[in-house]
Amino acid sequence: MWRKGIWIGTISGLAIGIYMWLVEELTAIKVYILLMNVDFIPVIGDIDWPAPVEWLFHLIISWAIGMIYCFLLRSKQNSTVRMQWILAFVLSAIAFSTYFPLTLLAIKDTPAVTNMTAIVLWAAGHILYALLLKLSYNLKDSFS
C-alpha cells in the first residue's frame, strides 16, 4: 500500500509541479514559487535550497497524500470508482486550500491572497492533481 501511495504521489506531484512551472513561465504569476516555497518554516526556511531539494520537499508532501489516499481506499467497500473520485477531489481540495495560508505566510514574493487569476491557476493545478491521483491509482502496475 505504501509503495502504491509513493507511485501515485510521484505521478501526481510531478504533474502539478510541471504544470505550475509552465504556468509561471507563461504568465509570470508565481504559483510555482508558491508550490515549492518553504521559507516560512522555522530552521529549513532559512536556507536557500537548490531546486532539486525543493522538489524533494514537494514530493514528500505528495507521497504522504498518495499514501493517505491508498490507506483510505484499502478496503473493497471503500474502493469503489465513485469513492476513488470523491476522495481524490477531497484531498486535492484540501491541498488547494493551502493557497491562502501559504500566501499569507510566505516571505518570498508570491501571488496576493486576492489574486483571482492565481487562485484559478492554483485550482486548475489541483484539479489536474486529483485526476492523476485517481487515474494513476487504477494503473495496472507492480505497485498494487
CB under 8 A, 24+ apart: contacts of 18-21: 19/124, 19/125, 19/128, 20/121, 20/125
Structural contact between residues 137 and 4, judged by C-beta atoms closer than 8 angstroms: yes
Global pTM reads: 0.91
Angle 81-96/51-72 helices, nearest 10 degrees?
140
- Say if residue 142's pLDDT is above 70: no
Which of the 8 DSSP states describes residue 17?
H
What is the Cα–Cα distance from 3 to 55, expressed in whole angstroms?
19
For 44-64, how does the pLDDT look when each residue is reduced to its tens digit (9 = 90+)?
888 989 999 999 999 999 999
Tally of residues, the chain? 144
Convert the pLDDT of each residue in 79-125 to its tens digit: 889 999 999 999 999 999 999 999 999 999 999 999 999 999 999 99
The burial class, CB within 10 Å (0-12 / 13-18 / 19+), for 81 is exposed
Residue 111 C-alpha cell reads as 501571488
The answer on pLDDT for 5 being more than 60 is yes
